[in-house]
Copies of this chain bind each other. A is one copy, B any other.
């Protein structure tokens, strides 16, 4: 068995909910503390691992499947892995959980469609409403909320800093719990 020092923080939530923003803050803090950290960024993965895949349900599933495969390898080698894909369907997240077992940490970054649309940092919601983007999660494609995520970060009621602090606290607790086990692993 591998150490328990590695795990995957699997961010899920609508575009604009704050997944990337929060993950960047936490990533930075963990790096400063000397943790092994990798971020499987959606765009980076699409470019390097998933060239040719689009946004159909089947292609989205395949995209998430590949992220989960890499996250599994990294996390079992003691790397704290961030996966920040929308991952809108419950079954695709459950598949990732089944692969990683208790190394899978579902982090639901929650904000309503209305709120995300109000922010619309990248102008994607406007384009989706205008019909320029097909199958956009929350507008023309469903987002299935997690039923029992390990962590709920509600960015409609919390500041980004509050959300990041909650996540850091979770990670610290988990790492503290892992320390004795790490010495006896093979």
| Chain A residues with a Cβ under 8 A of chain B | 34, 36, 38, 48-49, 51-52, 62, 65-66, 69-70, 73-74, 77-79, 186
In the complex, what residue of chain B is closest to A99 when comparing beta carbons?
Answer: B48
CB distance from A85 to the nearest CB of B (A): 16
Q: How many copies does the complex hold?
A: 2
CB distance from A52 to the nearest CB of B (A): 8
- A-B CB contact pairs (8 Å), 10 listed: A34-B186, A38-B73, A38-B77, A48-B65, A48-B66, A48-B69, A49-B69, A52-B52, A70-B70, A70-B73
Chain B residue numbers with a CB within 8 Å of A66 are: 48-49
Chain B residue numbers with a CB within 8 Å of A49 are: 49, 66, 69-70
Chain B residue numbers with a CB within 8 Å of A73 are: 38, 70, 74
Q: A62-B51, A65-B48 are in contact. Are A36 and B70 (CB under 8 A)?
A: no
CB distance from A169 to the nearest CB of B (A): 24
Chain B residue numbers with a CB within 8 Å of A36 are: 77-78
New A-B contacts (14) at CB < 8 Å, excluding given A38-B73, A74-B74, A77-B77: A34-B186, A36-B77, A48-B65, A48-B66, A49-B66, A49-B69, A49-B70, A51-B62, A52-B52, A70-B70, A73-B74, A74-B77, A77-B78, A77-B79
CB distance from A150 to the nearest CB of B (A): 23
Cα distance, A70 to B67, chains bound together (Å): 11
The 4 closest A-B pairs by CB, nearest first: A48-B69, A77-B79, A36-B77, A49-B66
Cα distance, A44 to B140, chains bound together (Å): 35
CB distance from A72 to the nearest CB of B (A): 10
Chain B residue numbers with a CB within 8 Å of A186 are: 34
